[in-house]
Chains A and B, each alone.
Chain A
Amino acid sequence: MITLTVNGSRHEIDADPDTPLLYVLRGELALNGAKFGCGLGQCGSCTVLIDDRPVFSCLVPLAAVGEKKVRTIEGLGSKGKPGALAAAFEDEQAAQCGYCIAGMIMRAQALLEHNSTPTEDELRRHMAANLCRCGTHMRILSAVRRAAVTMGGGVKQEGTP
């Protein structure tokens, strides 16, 4: 049995140590926000936070998690009470098919927790690891800028390409 701390709750998991974290989140804990996209760490739709840093959960073996704290989009808010980023994504209508959005929000969450006033350049570099097949990147960036403000900071416009 492996103990896993997700969104503040502890879970006993019966799985091999090389099982990717994503499979446990979705298959065992019914936390279906993080998505399986490529399974190769190329698309970012499975992004969750481990100890406040964004990782591709499809490539994180359970053996690597240990005592670290896992956070998923379900830990940031709910449908009735969305978190700042989820609300901003809705306001900006940033989703088209929506498959990448949980990963996008988790990656943006890591940025804004770490740096509430990133520059536009830092924002774009940070988000570059996550892809949107529908091509809503510009709206996604707008949503992160909006959330940065509601979270008490803001994206500085210096260094805009």
Chain B
Amino acid sequence: MVVLAIAAGTATLIWQKELPPISPPAADSFERGLVKHGEALAQLGGCVACHTAPNGKALTGGRKLQTPFGMVISNNLTPEPWSGLGGWSLAAFVRAMREGVSRDGHFLYPAFPYDYFTNASDTDLAALYAYLMSRPPIVAQAPVDRLDWPFAHRQLLAAWNLFFLRKGPKDDGGPDRGRALAEGLAHCGACHTPRNRWGAARSDRAYDGAWVDDWYAPALNARSPAARPWTEEDLFTYLRTGLSAVHAAAAGPMAEVTRALAAAPEADVRAIAGYFARLMAAAPATDKKAPAVVDRRNEADQAHPEGAALFGGACSSCHEAGAPMLLQGRPSLAVSTALRIDAPHNALHVIAHGLAAPAGHAGPDMPAFHADFTDRQLAEIAQYLRARYTLLPPWPNPEQAAEHVRQGADEQRVEAP
């Protein structure tokens, strides 16, 4: 009897029922205001970033996402009946966003961050649905995911959900819109919160900073490594434009995020900025006694003469004090967060692969230097920068990191010139 009950219980967990397909609603059947709101939320959530293949049509999926458990490939979100969301009712969409279950009943992988989206309000989900269902339908069948054994067995996700999914919604339309968005549709923690060995967010270490592929997403709480305090205004400008003259230019996955946020509603981005400025209010940089930004040129020149020569020939025409680029409002290396985190990967990524100017800026672009330097030379430059612009100890194994960054150049990356 007990065995039967457990079996029945497990069965209901493992087999989710298919929700009946609908015929795709007409694009103009949704209220225009709702669609507009949904469009803005799609920007906040950055849907396009994962659900668009390199050079593919927006939202048609097919982007490969490498996870520690194998390759997950994003789905087509346009309302095409066979390969996309055309047959999805609002109920099916809400179930996917809140519970990670596809319309036909199969489990979705948490690379699709439903553990965050679950917190979004009913109103926001309805708006997002209206927006997606009013896009032009495009046929685009996503290739099959390539998960490592045993993760190809989606039923395992029933256990994952049982342990790790705290089903929402948490957003009750309360006053802290920034928090609701950060923990919901904007899913900031998906990159900035470390995950446990099962790939679930560690709520005890929210926003402590985490690895995403071979980029490090820095801490967004009292452990923020920033050289200067992040104010709400600084963060707002950074999130909106990808550039803060007193902090940083967004790079790597965050550059994509800021491109999406540029088109998101201003008030929502401001709310997110306010939320994280409050979380970082006790960061070391806010300490009045904290050392001001440093430029220890002589010490660094002596400690890393090769790095100094390479920097002098390759970097100084843009990055030395008084260089034309700095007069155009680009941040000094002395405030770079990339130089203050515990691993050199972010700095090496930017040196090796360059950085396209943020949206709305004609230039300058940071050129890619991977063809110019050996791994050892890249490491020398990184150590030189660390010694010159921070008071922190040298990085361990920068050459190994350089080799890794060079090889791991994401096939989907659009390289700066």
Contacts and interface: CB of A to CB of B under 8 A. Distances in A.
A and B interact: yes
Specify the main secondary structure of chain A where it touches its partner. Answer: loop
A53 B374 CA distance: 13
Nearest to B377: A64
B365 A42 contact: yes
B110 to A, nearest CB: 33
B322 interface: no
Contact of A54 (B308, B310, B315, B371): B371
B309 A55 contact: no
A115 to B, nearest CB: 15
B371 A59 contact: no
Interface in A3-20: 16-20
A61 B372 CA distance: 9
Nearest to A66: B374
B324 A60 contact: no
Contacts of B311: 18
B417 A60 contact: no
A50 B374 CA distance: 12
A40 B417 contact: no
Contact of A64 (B308, B317, B365, B373): B373
A66 B306 CA distance: 12
Interface string B344-387: 00000000000000000001110101011110010000000000
A121 interface: yes
A27 to B, nearest CB: 14
Contacts of B55: 121, 159
A42 B373 CA distance: 18
Interface string A106-146: 00000000000000010000001110000000000000000
Interface in A36-53: 39-42, 44, 50-51, 53
Given A50-B372, A64-B373, A42 B364 contact: yes
Nearest to B368: A129
Contacts of B150: none
A129 B377 CA distance: 23
Interface residues of B, number: 25
A64 B324 contact: no
Contacts of B377: 63-64
Given A18-B312, A53-B371, A129-B417, A40 B318 contact: yes
Nearest to A61: B313
Given A50-B372, A53-B371, A129-B417, A62 B317 contact: no
Interface residues of A, number: 29
Contacts of A64: 310, 313-314, 372-374, 377
A56 interface: yes
The CB with the most chain B CB atoms within 10 A, among A44, A50, A59, is that of A59
B325 interface: yes
Contacts of A58: 317
A61 B310 contact: yes
B325 A40 contact: yes
Contacts, number: 69
A19 B310 CA distance: 9
B310 A44 contact: no
A111 to B, nearest CB: 13
B317 A59 contact: yes
Given A40-B325, A40-B364, A61-B314, A18 B309 contact: yes
Contact of A55 (B324, B365, B372): B372
Contacts of A20: 313
A41 B367 CA distance: 6
The CB with the most chain A CB atoms within 10 A, among B306, B308, B312, B363, is that of B312
Contacts of A17: 306, 309, 313
Contacts of A62: 313
A59 B314 contact: yes
Contacts of B306: 17, 63
B388 to A, nearest CB: 15
Given A40-B325, A121-B55, A61 B312 contact: yes
A56 B371 CA distance: 10
A129 B310 CA distance: 22
Contacts of A50: 371-372
A59 B372 contact: yes
B363 A42 contact: yes
A64 B377 CA distance: 7
A59 B309 contact: no
Given A20-B313, A62-B313, 20 more contacts: A16-B309, A18-B312, A40-B317, A40-B324, A40-B364, A42-B363, A50-B372, A54-B371, A55-B372, A58-B317, A59-B314, A59-B317, A59-B372, A60-B313, A61-B309, A63-B309, A63-B310, A63-B313, A64-B377, A129-B367
16 contacts: A17-B306, A17-B313, A18-B310, A18-B313, A40-B364, A53-B371, A54-B371, A55-B372, A59-B314, A61-B309, A63-B306, A63-B310, A63-B377, A64-B372, A64-B373, A121-B55
* 8 tightest A-B CB contacts, nearest first: A61-B313, A129-B417, A18-B312, A41-B367, A53-B371, A17-B309, A18-B313, A18-B309
